Amino acid sequence: MNIFSYIVLGLSLSVPVGPITIEMVKRGIKKGFLHSWFVGLGGMSADVVLMFLIYFGVSTYLTTPVAKLMMWIFGCIILVYLGYESIRDAFREITISEEKKKGNLLQSFLSGFLIAISNPLNIIFWIGIYGSVLTTILNTVNSGKALLYSSAIFIGIAAWDITVASSVHFGRKFVHQRFLKWLSVIAGIALIGFGIHFGYQAVKSLYLVGIGHE
């Protein structure tokens, strides 16, 4: 595989709609391009952290039953809270123009980072995908070039984030107050849904950890 192949891989991995995309759309419509993009940057920063952890062999510790349990619980709490916050904000009288003037970019960044770093599916996904990609590259080049080549995945991810943020930013001009409220509610329900799923997985993991100690 050449560098372009890894860019395409990163783009392909970003297209499926998940908690990050939902948060990008929600913040982008309310607050504009930069807030949407910073959510994506936060998520991508978390992916970079995961990539380095896998590169340096820490993934072994992330796949233990106790580690998985903690990740499911943390992911559940983060997503349910963000979902609640989204639904709560839907019932506040906030116009798009007012939202554009205020807001903390750091908050948007941290939102994306926490969603990505606390998502066990994202962690397991990176261990599986990046782990296999890294193994393939190391068969043909040295470790330094392997890290450089595989980092091209983030060019594809960044390209998708910019596309989403730009689309939402220009589309927000046609959004009215009622649509904005429903979007916040739907986004909140979706995030809570992901959180509940993580909570269910946490209960299953707790049960398996309990069996392992018997």
Whether residue 199 lies inside any domain: the answer is yes
- Residuewise pLDDT in 10s, the chain (214 residues): 567 777 777 777 676 667 888 888 888 887 888 999 999 999 999 988 887 887 777 766 666 777 777 777 877 887 788 788 878 877 765 555 444 444 588 989 999 998 888 877 777 777 766 666 666 665 666 666 667 777 778 888 888 889 888 888 787 766 666 666 777 788 788 878 878 887 888 888 777 666 555 5
Domain containing 128 equals 3-11+18-209
Assess if residue 169 is contained within a domain: yes
Question: What integer pLDDT is reported at residue 207 of this predicted model?
Answer: 74
How many structural domains does the chain have?
1
Is residue 214, in this structure, part of any structural domain at all?
no
* pLDDT score of 143: 63
pLDDT at 28: 86
Q: Structure pTM?
A: 0.70
Identify whether 46 is part of a domain: yes
Quick one: which of 182, 210, 208, 206 has its CA closest to 69? 206
Question: Residue 201 domain-assigned?
Answer: yes
Residue labelled with tokens 């809570």: 192
C-alpha dihedral sign at 108, 102, 77, 21: negative
Using CA atoms, how far apart are residues 114 and 112, in angstroms rounded to an integer?
6
Question: Do the domain assignments include residue 57?
Answer: yes
Q: Which of 107, 144, 130, 143 is nearest to 23 (CA)?
A: 107
Tell me the C-alpha distance between 151 and 158, whole Å: 11
Is 49 within a domain? yes
